[in-house]
Amino acid sequence: MQRRDIQVREIMSSPAVTVTPETEIRKVARIMRERLFSGVPVVNESGELLGLITEMDLIKRNAPLPQPQYIAVLSALIPVNLAEARQYREQLRQVLATTAGDLMQEEVVTVEPETPIEEALEAMLDPEVTMLPVMQGDRVIGVVTRTDLVRLIEQLEMAPDDDAG
């Protein structure tokens, strides 16, 4: 078995364990802890992907919230650093989240069952991507995690070298 011949379908975990937008954060955390998941896809009642919650989302939600600096001008407060103010608003949104729909990331990198494994490996080079939902049309049919990829790498490393002669 050579890496270039492998498709995502061969290593994905299926069916995917998912949550709905209404799932409470404490239940999301319990599912992730009990199953040792790095994240869970958030889907609607039809199984269509809406977003993703990762361990980092849960950690950020519970981390201290640094206050941005403001300048008082007349009766208005103007942020000193706009990027810092935007980051504060995003962190505040996470802190106030009570359901999966409130906390989830809506922009999610996905793959299809036929996706070559090289593309999944490349996507996982991004530290923000810890899980790839596997899509069949609009529906989540599985997930690929870093653990799935490490398991594959181990199998490839242990396989005899076909070119040895």
pLDDT at 161: 65
Distance CA 101, CA 77 (A): 30
φ, ψ of residue 123 to 5 degrees: the values are -60, -35
Kindly state the helix (H) or strand (E) to which residue 161 belongs, with its residue range.
none
pTM as predicted: 0.77
pLDDT digits 0-9 by tens, 74-87: 766 666 667 777 77
Q: Which two tokens stand for residue 95?
A: 């802190």
CA dihedral for 87, 89, 95, 99, sign (positive or negative): negative
Higher pLDDT, 159 or 27: 27
Q: 55-62 vs 25-35: helix axis angle to the nearest 10? A: 130
> In sequence order, what DSSP letters do the residues of 60-121 get, joined into one string?
HHHS--PPPPEEEETTEEEES-HHHHHHHHHHHHHHH--BHHHH-BS----B-TT-BHHHHH
Query: Domain spans of the chain?
Result: 3-158
Mean pLDDT of 139-149: 92
Name the class of domain 3-158: alpha beta
pLDDT digits 0-9 by tens, 43-59: 999 889 999 999 989 98
